[in-house]
Amino acid sequence: MADKIKLSLALIIVISAMVAFYSFPDQSLLLRVIGLLAAASVASAVALQTALGQNTWGFGRGAVIEVRKVVWPTGKETRQTTLVVMAMVLVMGLILWVFDLFLGWAVNFLTGLGG
């Protein structure tokens, strides 16, 4: 029950900040953005005190750890793969273009529009 109250409070803080942001257009944009960011920080801090917030934070930390384990390709491998993909796209485009020309000719021939 306490988690629901905390999450509701965080949502109320965010909604209030957005309403305030648009309710005071005569104020400096910088001040409104700073207020919005401050409210978002407070809402995040409140939300992180819940079980859902802790699970989300743990998931994010795990994702960062997994990204660090990824073996990224070298520049040479990236260029070679890009060239192979571009060549295959060109070849498939030509094949489909010829196939489309043939089908267009066949439909025109069968419907009597081709001569």
Tell me the per-residue pLDDT of 84-114, one tens digit each, with 9 for 90 and over: 999 999 999 999 999 999 999 999 988 987 6
Residues 15 and 62 in one domain: yes
Average pLDDT over residues 80-84: 97
CB 2 within 8 A of CB 35: no
Residues 61 and 113 in one domain: no
Q: What does the H/E/C string look like for 38-91? A: HHHHHHHHHHCCCHHHHHHHHHHHHHHHHHHHCCCCCHHHHHHHHHHHHHHHHH
Q: What is the residue type of 50?
A: T
* Residue-wise pLDDT tens digits, 40-56: 999 999 999 999 999 99
Indicate whether 79 pLDDT > 90: yes
CA distance 62 to 55: 10
Residues 54 and 91 in one domain: no
Q: For residue 112, what are the domain limits?
A: 73-115
Average of per-residue pLDDT values in the chain:
93
Domains identified in the chain, total number: 2
Residues 62 and 77 in one domain: no
